[in-house]
Amino acid sequence: MAERNPLTYELKNGWKEMSPEIREDAMAFCGDYIRFLNDAKTERESVTVMVSMLQSAGFVDFNTYIAGNKSVKPGDKIYWVNREKALIAAVVGNQDPTLGMNMVGAHIDAPRLDFKPNPLCDDGGFVMAKTHYYGGIKKYQWVAVPLAIHGVILRKDGTKFNIRIGENPGDPVFYISDLLPHLAGDQMGNTASKVVSGEQLKVVLGSIPGTETEEDGEKRSLKENLLTLLHEQYGLSESDFLRGEIEVVPAFQAGDVGLDRSLVGGYGQDDRVCSYTGLRALLDLEGVPSKTAVCYLSDKEEIGSVGNTGARANWLENFVLELCHAWNPSYEMVALRRSLSNTCFLSADVTAAFDPCYPEVYEKGNSAFAGCGVAIAKYTGSRGKSGASDASAELVASVTDIFDGEQIPWQIAELGKVDAGGGGTIAQFMTDIGMDVLDCGVPVISMHSPYEVTSKADVYWTYRAYRAFMQG
């Protein structure tokens, strides 16, 4: 372990803090993480994969407690799913939950392209699906790359059709065109936000023209031909699309980056890196913690935490109330308020890692660096901390004391220079309900791009940090 001058704030290096055994553990952990990224590219898939991880570890659906009026006891392991898109998992602690809990909260949605409700069109020999982008993307990054289609459609017959095309070997992939440089003179003169417009993000689905039908001799249009294929292969009609949620995501597989395999490259690491590390931390807790440990995984963060699966919804409060009630049937609303105001919450979201190709937007003394451990942000926001939850000095001190006690390398950072931009997390919605909240997660390079990069050292130390925090 590297020696440190106790009188200065010096960054530790996450790799140098590892013994050979820990490094081996970290590499294996990141192998599991990469498999998770490939299995769970959407919020629904994340819930499915994580519920199976939880069930394998003996966690039980909290609805069975609620339906059976069953009380919770220290050591009970429970999970609760919200509309297939958000998830809470908890290990019940020895203490009364009104004395507070230790929560780690991340989000499992990621920037993507959603099919429009009536998506199909044909033009110039192609059948395409129109999309509406979800979250903050650079639209030009989504053209001329292989794409996959994930989602669900509720068929008229009541069955739910799960779609996942473009992920398995032999699957076709999908594609949005970009203009050839030879004809892109005008396009290249636009500002980057207008190089590709939202309406141009049309996904090519097919191009074989219709044949003349024997009955009426009429030519089927391209679109009709594709609809016939959709009907024959999947039993779908055009009107079924409005009964679905179809997400277009990059078809690349996540994997190791660099000759030394020190980095993870993949789609949707904001914020599935904190979601995965948070859940694994809960699964790997030793014994029964004194405070109830909770991993909360929300949806819709990328569009403002809206909706009944987002972090602004009172679903997490409902969980805490149900848990208090299951602990002691006489507990009512006052128990909820006491529990929330005594709860400590790590807002587990990514921050920007210093990017040596774009140093001008970072202030080096207050930046997170890939490889230097879990990154804490005292505050986020933009234009003078607007939209931030500014954690108290007391909270920063107590959380960093936990990390120091476990020899976990950590760093503290702002997201870019003052007035260079900014961003928010779910932290502010948790402070609204009275919790003590600190932003804490993995630094990411190329955040919100189709292929984001993280350091394996940071992924591992973040997992260890969340585990130490929840262990109490």
Residue 16 token pair:
């140098």
The residue (of 43 and 271) whose beta carbon lies closer to Mn ion is 271
Closest CA to 112 of 250, 9, 260: 250
Closest CA to 111 of 87, 90, 136: 136
The residue (of 45 and 302) whose beta carbon lies closer to Mn ion is 302
Sole window of 31-39, 70-78, 94-102, 271-279 interacting with Mn ion (rule: CB under 5 A): 271-279
The residue (of 122 and 349) whose beta carbon lies closer to Mn ion is 349
- Helices (H), strands (E): how many in the chain? 12, 22
Q: What is the 3-state secondary structure (H, E, C) of 395-431?
A: HHHHHHHHHHHCCCCEEECCCCCCCCCEECCCHHHHH
The residue (of 41 and 291) whose beta carbon lies closer to Mn ion is 41
Please report how close the Cβ of residue 339 comes to Mn ion at its closest, in angstroms.
Answer: 26
DSSP-assigned letter for residue 153: E
CA distances (Å), origin 442, targets 38, 74, 166: 19, 31, 28
Q: Which residue is nearest to Mn ion (CB)?
A: 271
Please report how close the Cβ of residue 424 comes to Mn ion at its closest, in angstroms.
Answer: 9
The residue (of 270 and 458) whose beta carbon lies closer to Mn ion is 270
| Beta strand spans in 314-423 (E) | 344-347, 351-352, 374-377, 381-382, 410-412, 422-423
Sole window of 39-47, 145-153, 225-233, 265-273 interacting with Mn ion (rule: CB under 5 A): 265-273
Please report how close the Cβ of residue 388 comes to Mn ion at its closest, in angstroms.
Answer: 14
Total of residues contacting Mn ion (CB under 5 A): 3
HSE (side-chain half, CA atoms, 13 Å) at 233: 8
Sole window of 62-70, 73-81, 154-162, 342-350 interacting with Mn ion (rule: CB under 5 A): 342-350
Please report how close the Cβ of residue 454 comes to Mn ion at its closest, in angstroms.
Answer: 13
Q: Based on the shown chain and the rule CB under 5 A, indicate whether residue 322 belongs to the binding site for Mn ion.
A: no
89: left (phi over 0), alpha (psi -120 to 50) or beta: beta
Sole window of 53-61, 83-91, 348-356, 357-365 interacting with Mn ion (rule: CB under 5 A): 348-356
Sole window of 67-75, 240-248, 264-272, 366-374 interacting with Mn ion (rule: CB under 5 A): 264-272
Q: Based on the shown chain and the rule CB under 5 A, indicate whether residue 247 belongs to the binding site for Mn ion.
A: no
Q: Pick one of 245, 270, 299, 322: the residue that binds Mn ion (CB under 5 A).
A: 270
Closest CA to 139 of 95, 104, 190, 96: 190
The residue (of 225 and 347) whose beta carbon lies closer to Mn ion is 347
Residue 90 and residue 105: Cα distance in Å, rounded?
12
Residue 249 and residue 296: Cα distance in Å, rounded?
24
Sole window of 17-25, 176-184, 249-257, 262-270 interacting with Mn ion (rule: CB under 5 A): 262-270
The residue (of 17 and 271) whose beta carbon lies closer to Mn ion is 271
Sole window of 16-24, 46-54, 341-349, 359-367 interacting with Mn ion (rule: CB under 5 A): 341-349
Please report how close the Cβ of residue 448 comes to Mn ion at its closest, in angstroms.
Answer: 6
Q: Based on the shown chain and the rule CB under 5 A, indicate whether residue 349 belongs to the binding site for Mn ion.
A: yes
Residue ranges of alpha helices (H) inside 57-129 are 62-67
Closest CA to 294 of 351, 350, 326, 340: 340
Please report how close the Cβ of residue 106 comes to Mn ion at its closest, in angstroms.
Answer: 8
Residue 61 and residue 63: Cα distance in Å, rounded?
5
Please report how close the Cβ of residue 230 comes to Mn ion at its closest, in angstroms.
Answer: 33
Please report how close the Cβ of residue 302 comes to Mn ion at its closest, in angstroms.
Answer: 5
Please report how close the Cβ of residue 321 comes to Mn ion at its closest, in angstroms.
Answer: 27
The residue (of 98 and 380) whose beta carbon lies closer to Mn ion is 380
Residue 97 and residue 159: Cα distance in Å, rounded?
40
Please report how close the Cβ of residue 135 comes to Mn ion at its closest, in angstroms.
Answer: 6
Sole window of 17-25, 78-86, 267-275, 462-470 interacting with Mn ion (rule: CB under 5 A): 267-275
The residue (of 425 and 455) whose beta carbon lies closer to Mn ion is 425
Q: How many CB atoms lie within 10 A of CB 450?
A: 21
Q: Based on the shown chain and the rule CB under 5 A, indicate whether residue 299 belongs to the binding site for Mn ion.
A: no
Residue 382 and residue 207: Cα distance in Å, rounded?
46
Residue 114 and residue 133: Cα distance in Å, rounded?
6
Closest CA to 269 of 106, 455, 37: 37
Please report how close the Cβ of residue 126 comes to Mn ion at its closest, in angstroms.
Answer: 31
Q: Based on the shown chain and the rule CB under 5 A, indicate whether residue 271 belongs to the binding site for Mn ion.
A: yes
Residues that bind Mn ion (CB under 5 A): 270-271, 349
